Amino acid sequence: TLAVLTLKLTVEASQKYQRIRGFGGAMTDAAAMNILSLSVGAQDKLLRQYFSPEGAEYNVVRVPMASCDFSTRLYTYADTPEDFQLLNFTLAPEDLQMKIPLLQRAQALSPRPLSLLASAWSAPAWLKTNGALIGKGTLKGVAGGKAHKTWANYYVRFLDEYSKHNLTFWAMTTGNEPTAGMMTNYSFQALGFTPETQRDWVSLDLGPAIALSKYPKTQLLILDDQRLLLPHWARVVLNDIHAARYIHGIGVHWYFDRIAPADLTLSTTHHLFPEYYLFGTEACAGWIPLDRGVKLGSWDRAEEYAHDITEDLNHYVTGWTDWNLALDMGGGPNWAKNFADSTIIVDKTRDIFYKQPTFYVMTHFSKFLLEGSQRVGVSFSAHTDLEVTAFIRPDKSTVMTVLNRSDRDVQFEVWDPATGYIPSVSPGHSILTVIWQAQ
């Protein structure tokens, strides 16, 4: 019998790629309501699972600006018609009583400053062509006009109000899923932009508003939508010198990744615009109508997460943000009945929460790939089903994540010229993280 040659994974430390920004999830209205539905002790345990050194060590939290589908009602912070000066701009009870206190508690548990990321779903109805928060609608008028200026100033007012609670934002996006607001009969909050109208709004209104505010260091991410829109969207916006100077990164969602090859979308965009980082801003399981809602203990969904994160990292993405931090047993609340799954599921009737397999997958990345970790090359001695990514951390240790979506165990050894051989085995349907310090 022939001896089976062990698969060798060689770390190519001289091949250097992008640096990590971070990993995390979203403090939606629904997430905040679910966390606060637990007893104080259980709330604290849940927050520790995500933010403390004993937990996943999330360092990114996405914060919706006003309502989204994972709210229990439709609202913005400026619902008084014709209030172009935003004199009546005010945060909602959802912010003041739920999201802000939880963000402060999360920050207190985290040894590092949290990177907060804000995204708006819709402008106030009176600023929009359709006069509603939902459905097909864009800002009234044109870039540089009164409605566009007001919507840009709304972003600054949001930063003002949160800063009063000692919460500052690393970044904001130009708006959640701009293509949704271009679709007829779209069923929840949206604001339509084409790449051209987004480019013009950034260059004439939003970019200058942030640059001239007290928050010039707050970064701006365009797109915040599916990666199949790349590289076209990036080309239109970033080839414009007036818009590009205000922009730092490109936000991508995961929902149609299966039909949008990472090479053609992410890598192409990176090579065209290497100075702008790619960042995963939203993902969740249980969103497909035929497979909707919560599935407790689903390993299939965990593997989908692990595959997508690994693929993204291997194509220049600098971080990956999950959607709701917590949902209830029905995958809500969600006023639009657009139920989904979450990495933590709360059962308030029993005052308990479940950590889903997706939670543990997220932790493989969030806990080990510290901010500033740099991706390095990996070469394979033979073809393999294993999906692998490797990083050198700021402390010079090396981390390799190995995903095996096949049914069989795979023996392998890591070869790091600086360290030697590390023998290991990847069981069928598993994810493992190997970490070592150079000798």
Which one, of 2, 6, 1, 3, lies nearest residue 415 by Cα?
6
Q: Is 177 one of the catalytic residues?
A: yes
> Of 57, 282, 303, 387, which one is the catalytic site residue?
282
What does the alpha-carbon distance between residue 50 and residue 72 come to, in Å, rounded to a whole number?
24
Instruction: Provide φ and ψ at 162, rounded to 5°.
Output: -70, -35
Which one, of 280, 277, 303, lies nearest residue 372 by Cα?
277
Element (H, E) at 252: strand 249-253
Q: Is 282 one of the catalytic residues?
A: yes
> Of 177, 303, 311, 387, which one is the catalytic site residue?
177
Please, what is the angle between helix 299-313 and helix 357-366, to 10°?
20
Give how far the C-alpha of residue 29 lies from the chain's centroid of Cα atoms, to the nearest Å: 16
Number of H helices, E strands in the chain: 13, 18
Q: What length is written for the chain?
A: 439
Instruction: Provide φ and ψ at 61, rounded to 5°.
Output: -130, 120
CB 139 within 8 A of CB 128: yes
What does the alpha-carbon distance between residue 255 and residue 284 come to, in Å, rounded to a whole number?
8
What does the alpha-carbon distance between residue 172 and residue 7 come to, in Å, rounded to a whole number?
43
* Residues with a known catalytic role: 177, 282
